[in-house]
Amino acid sequence: MTMRMMGMALGNNVALIVVAGCSSVIQGMGPKNSYGYPALNIAFAAGPAAASGMWRAFKQRNKDVTVVVWAGDGGTADIGFASLSGAAERNENFIYVCVDNEAYMNSGGQRSGSTPHGAVTPTTPEGKKENKKELLFLMLDHHVPYAATASVGYPHDLMDKLRRAKTIEGFRYLQVLTPDPYGWLFDPSRTAEVGKLAVQTCYWPLLEVVNGRVQVSNESLHCLRKETRRPLRDFLSVQGRYKRLNDQDYKELESYVDYTWDRILKLMRT
Amino acid sequence: MSLEYQVFPVSTPAEGAGGKTGNWRTVRPVVTDRCIGCNACFLWCPEGTIGVVGRKAKVYYEYCKGCGVCANVCPVKAIEMVMEQ
Amino acid sequence: MMKVMSGNEAVALAVKLARVGVVGIYPITPQTTIIEELAEMRARGELSADIVRVESEHSAMAVTLGAAVSGVRSFTATSSQGLLYMHEMVWWTSGSRAPLVMVVATRAVGAPWNIWNENTDFMSERDSGWIMAFASTPQEALDLTLQAFRISEDPRVFLPVMVGMDGFILSHTKTNVFIPSQEDVDNFIPPRRQPYVIDPETKESMGNIFPPIYYMKLRQSIHEAITNSEEVIKEVGREYNKISPLGDYGTLNVSYKLDDADYAVVTMGAWSLDAMEAVDKLRENGLNVGLYRVRYIRPWSEKEIRENLGDKRAILVVDRATSLGRGGPLYLELKSTLNIPIKGVVTGLGGVSVGKRDFYSLISRFVEEARYSEVGGVEWYYPGEVKEVELGTPRTAH
Ligand code: SF4
Ligand code: SF4
């Protein structure tokens, strides 16, 4: 569905690079596919580099095409990180969309670097011990002209960000929190709701950083003050993956949220 | 030399290349008169099988998998999920 | 025009003459001077190619592939560990059927670290579905690279081409090279052709999941494209001969004094020239030997090889590479092609220097053996000067 939102926001002049992951499966079987976009499917760690070659090919051919890399959180935070970091540092001219469902959903939901503390996955049956990797902050340290987060819970915000990203030249990073009912263990019809709860409880900040200037999106403004944040429990309790969470873990996650927002506040001041 | 042996891993867009997901369904969404044509269901549907046609949402049942996302996101609760016969 | 240049400079020049659009580069010895030369040409304004200085070889291949599928001629180069690191993308590229060219300046593979020449890195990509040529002089490095672009973009082939050359020995040694004119090259290499273009105008996609039967058919297609490329390579070679007076590309591989020879030695790459001198010497001394130099490892021309070597009494195959536990790759390929006694020699690994004297003694010893007995098997040959090597105490497991 994020794909459809992209269609509405970016128009037709788009070429996709799809990194191994769930999106490479849902396109269906060749020789047909269910995308409206031309897509180069490619191995896990190669997306950002292939996009670096592709946008240059369009430039050489004098064609105005927006190149978009579509990758999961595993491809972004783990195996593809070197390639992503290289392309960001070179300020390559494409949009990188990380569809973050916080695990390797394609191969059965195993933990990734983007899985949050406490989540039960097939490879962390006792709950993950480490915190989620801070991809947005990592991208900011590459001095990219555009970096933002979005949630599929707020499609209009997501589309606005894609539209803005399209107008900017250089490396653009957008990380979209995409609740996965089968990995996070909730009823599929509540996908939108879970995507909203992540934002309302301030677990997932909606941000937009243009040329280093940090802007907190409207949906997340209440998070700037601790008192106005919705309790994290409301987000965690609707998901089965946090069933192993004890009080200690809960505190850990709460302090993770505090830490994230302290860091955002600091960034806003500089 | 005939070039018949030259085949490539190329695919072209086709409706429902992901398979006829309509077969999975146990409940189906039915759009009622309350629909205001806001397109929220279109944005949300994971299969791309609902969208506003004219002023009102329409479901493409061949591929709709009956997940109920549309009913949940509709701001005016215009979609009812009814059991498949 | 003639100019004195190294193999790496010759390759860089070929890339420029072929009007490449995108080059993905990552430094590794001994390939580095190719990309340095390209970067300098670009800085001087002689090269219009977009140079992408990526963060790894895996990405170098991905950049090159990304540009190729979206309609632009592209190039990369690597060596050794770099080739191994990009291995996944090497396969993805041939599976994608993307026409592009890569040069491999060969080098030994670690551990332990070794920067010197050996062909095992190149030879280990034999199964990957590329067209694979190997040069023996800087001249040939230039010629084969230019031909590679045309072969790769031929509709009967549509596959990536890998051109190998011996690290340092060719890459860094300067000789006289004939350079065809830009006009001749422009006429020789037609405008870019490729099987599909990833572009909003075509809306075609590449590489999503295909059902098993389709997948197998696609693999068979690559197999047939490689076998059929033999004719294309000869045709392209004959065309190339017209623009280069030194050209000798009407055949895939090269034979030397084979017609009347009873015995033959088979080699690949730069040391073939040393072996040829040894052959001359041996002939002076009354030994009836000739040489066969393999230029194309893929396609593997069974026909040419049978015609040239099928009637020999025995052959000696000298490899600068190994398939550990088996023998040299050339030796293994020839064993599966010919029904005559074949002996393999593995030598020159990791930069061990093998010269014409070594070839002289290897070949004369071989002929001696072959006269009175059935030859076969694989010998690991160390040149005379390095008999004793101190490798420390043998260890048992802890
Ligand atoms: S979300 Fe509801 S009101 Fe909006 S178009 Fe769909 S059915 Fe109609
Ligand atoms: S039930 Fe699910 S698949 Fe069917 S139209 Fe609604 S959202 Fe789409």
- pLDDT of C311 reads 96
Per-residue pLDDT for A265 more than 60?
A: yes
Element (H, E) at B83: strand B79-83
CA distances from C335 to A90, C183, C349 (A): 49, 44, 21
Is the CB of B27 inside a 6 Å radius of any atom of ligand 1? no
CB atoms within 10 A of CB A226: 12
Torsional sign, CA A87, A38, A189, B51: positive
- pLDDT of A32 reads 64
Of B28, B30, B31, the one to substitute when testing ligand 1's pocket (max ligand atoms within 8 A of C-beta) is: B31
B30 CA distance to ligand 1 middle (Å): 11
Which amino acid is located at A219 in the chain? E
* Chosen from C53, C72, C205 to mutate, greatest number of chain A CBs within 10 A: C205
- pLDDT of A27 reads 62
Q: What is the pTM of this model?
A: 0.91
- pLDDT of A35 reads 64
Average pLDDT for B9-14: 84
Q: According to the 3-state scheme, what is the secondary structure of chain C?
A: CEEEECHHHHHHHHHHHCCCCEEEECCCCCCHHHHHHHHHHHHCCCCCCEEEECCCHHHHHHHHHHHHHCCCCEEEEECHHHHHHCHHHHHHHHHCCCCCEEEEEECCCCCCCCCCCCCHHHHCCCCCCCEEEECCCHHHHHHHHHHHHHHHCCCCCCCCEEEEEECCCCCCCCEEEECCCHHHHHHHCCCCCCCCCCCCCCCCEECCCCCHHHHHHHHHHHHHHHHHHHHHHHHHHHHHHHHCCCCCCCCCCEEECCCCCCEEEEECCCCHHHHHHHHHHHHHCCCCEEEEECCEEECCCHHHHHHHHCCCCEEEEEECCCECCCECHHHHHHHCCCCCCEEEEECCHHHCCCCHHHHHHHHHHHHHHHHHCCCCCEEECCCHHHCCCCCCCCCCCC
Q: According to the 3-state scheme, what is the secondary structure of C101-147?
A: EEEEEECCCCCCCCCCCCCHHHHCCCCCCCEEEECCCHHHHHHHHHH
Among candidate residues C367, C361, C333, the one with its CA nearest the CA of residue C347: C361
Q: Measure C65 CA to nearest chain A CA, in Å.
A: 6
- pLDDT of B26 reads 82
Rounded CA separation C74/A249 (Å): 51
What would the pLDDT profile of A102-135 be if each residue is shown by its tens digit? 998 878 889 999 999 989 899 998 889 899 999 9
CB atoms within 10 A of CB A249: 18
- pLDDT of C180 reads 97
What would the pLDDT profile of C102-135 be if each residue is shown by its tens digit? 999 999 999 999 999 999 999 999 999 999 999 9
Question: CB-CB: which of C52, C58, C209 is closest to A29?
Answer: C209
Highest mean pLDDT among A1-15, A246-260, B34-48: A246-260
- pLDDT of B84 reads 79
Report the range of poorest mean pLDDT among A28-37, A237-246, B41-50, C353-362.
Answer: A28-37
Tokens 């106005």 belong to A228
What would the pLDDT profile of C61-110 be if each residue is shown by its tens digit? 999 999 999 999 999 999 999 999 999 999 999 999 999 999 999 999 99
B69 CA distance to ligand 2 middle (Å): 6
* Inter-chain residue contact A54 with C50, CB threshold 8 Å: no
Average pLDDT for C139-165: 98
Average pLDDT for A15-33: 70
* Confidence tier at A204 by pLDDT (50, 70, 90): very high
Smallest CA–CA distance from A180 into chain B, residue:
B46
The domains of chain A, with CATH numbers, are 2-269 (3.40.50.970)
Phi, psi (degrees; rounded to nearest 5) at A134: -90, 80
Is the CB of B69 inside a 6 Å radius of any atom of ligand 2? yes
- pLDDT of A1 reads 63
Tokens 């599966």 belong to C336
CA distances from C359 to A257, B65, C173, C291 (A): 72, 72, 21, 11
Distance of CA C309 to the CA centre of its chain: 21
Contacts of C210 (CB under 8 A, 6+ apart): A29, A30, A31, B9, C218
Rounded CA separation C369/C313 (Å): 12
- pLDDT of B16 reads 57
- pLDDT of A61 reads 96
Torsional sign, CA C196, C200, C204, C207: positive
Tell me the longest C-alpha to C-alpha distance in chain B: 64
Question: What are the chain C neighbours of A34 within 8 Å (beta carbons)?
Answer: none
Rounded CA separation C116/C80 (Å): 10
Rounded CA separation A103/A5 (Å): 22
Q: Given the cut 0.90, state whether the ipTM is greater than it.
A: yes
Average pLDDT for A219-245: 94
* Confidence tier at B19 by pLDDT (50, 70, 90): low
What would the pLDDT profile of C248-295 be if each residue is shown by its tens digit? 999 999 999 999 999 999 999 999 999 999 999 999 999 999 999 999
Q: Measure B40 CA to nearest chain A CA, in Å.
A: 9
Element (H, E) at B11: strand B10-13
Per-residue pLDDT for C384 more than 90?
A: no
* Inter-chain residue contact A24 with C209, CB threshold 8 Å: yes
Q: What angle do CA A225, A229, A235 make, to 5 degrees?
A: 150
Are the beta carbons of C104 and C122 closer than 8 angstroms? yes
Average pLDDT for C314-326: 97
* Inter-chain residue contact B9 with C224, CB threshold 8 Å: no
Question: What are the chain C neighbours of B2 within 8 Å (beta carbons)?
Answer: none
- pLDDT of A74 reads 87
Average pLDDT for B22-27: 76
- pLDDT of B21 reads 63
- 3-class secondary structure, A92: coil
Per-residue pLDDT for C385 more than 70?
A: no
Phi, psi (degrees; rounded to nearest 5) at C163: -110, 120
Rounded CA separation C294/C300 (Å): 9
Share of chain A above pLDDT 70, in %: 94
What would the pLDDT profile of A138-184 be if each residue is shown by its tens digit? 999 999 999 999 998 998 899 999 999 999 999 999 999 999 888 99
Is the CB of B37 inside a 6 Å radius of any atom of ligand 1? yes
What would the pLDDT profile of A32-90 be if each residue is shown by its tens digit? 666 678 999 999 999 999 999 999 999 999 999 999 999 999 889 899 999 999 999 99
The domains of chain C, with CATH numbers, are 2-243 (3.40.50.970), 254-380 (3.40.50.920)
B&C contacts, CB < 8 Å: 47
* Inter-chain residue contact B72 with A192, CB threshold 8 Å: yes
Rounded CA separation C297/B29 (Å): 61
- pLDDT of B20 reads 62
Among candidate residues A145, A203, A198, the one with its CA nearest the CA of residue A174: A145
B57 CA distance to ligand 1 middle (Å): 6
Are the beta carbons of A201 and A151 closer than 8 angstroms? no
Are the beta carbons of C378 and C344 closer than 8 angstroms? yes
The domains of chain B, with CATH numbers, are 31-83 (3.30.70.20)
Rounded CA separation A104/B30 (Å): 34
Bridge partner list, A68 = A16, A95
Tokens 């072929």 belong to C18
Rounded CA separation A132/A123 (Å): 15
Output the average pLDDT for chain C. 95
Better pLDDT: B9 or B75: B9
The shares of helix, strand and coil residues in chain B, as percent rounded to the nearest 5, are 15, 25, 60
Tokens 């900040």 belong to A205
* Confidence tier at A29 by pLDDT (50, 70, 90): low
Better pLDDT: A191 or A7: A191
Per-residue pLDDT for A25 more than 80?
A: no
Are the beta carbons of B42 and B14 closer than 8 angstroms? no
* Inter-chain residue contact C228 with B10, CB threshold 8 Å: no
